[in-house]
Amino acid sequence: MYLSIRRGEANPGAAPEIARQVKDGFVPIISEVPGFKAYYMVDLGENMLATVSVFEDQAGAEESNRQAADWDKQNLAPLMASPLEIMTGEVVVHKAG
C-alpha cells in the first residue's frame, strides 16, 4: 500500500472553498485512478491543509500526484498561498479498526 501526502497553505479564509472544490471536482477524478483506496483532506488550522491519498501500489500514488498537480494548477492556484508540498511512500506499518 502507498500513500501520497500533499500539504500547503491556503489564502486566509479560503479553506472552505478549497474543500468544496476538491470534494466536487478532484475527488471524482482521483477515485478513478487504478488502485485507489481512500482520500482524506485535513484542515490543520492556521490556513494549512493536508491531503492523504491511499493506493494499492506506487504507480497509483504517482499517477494521483500527476493528476493533482494538473488539477491544482487549473483550479486552486488562486486560492493557495504556497504550492503544495508532495510526498509519496510505501506504508510500512498499518493497523485498521
The pTM of this model reads 0.90
Q: What is the pLDDT of residue 28?
A: 96
- Round to whole Å and give the CA distance between 36 and 15: 24
Q: What is the pLDDT of residue 15?
A: 94
pLDDT category of residue 50 using cuts at 50, 70 and 90:
very high
Domains of the chain: 2-90 (3.30.70.100)
Ranges of H-type helices in 1-97: 15-21, 27-30, 58-75
Q: What is the pLDDT of residue 41?
A: 96
What count of other Cβ atoms lies within 10 Å of the Cβ of residue 62?
15
Query: Average pLDDT, whole number, for the chain?
Result: 94
Residue 86 has pLDDT above 90, yes or no: yes
Which residue in the block uniquely carries the three cell numbers 492523504?
52
The tally of CA atoms less than 13 A away on the side-chain side of residue 50 is 9
Q: What is the pLDDT of residue 84?
A: 86
- Round to whole Å and give the CA distance between 33 and 11: 29
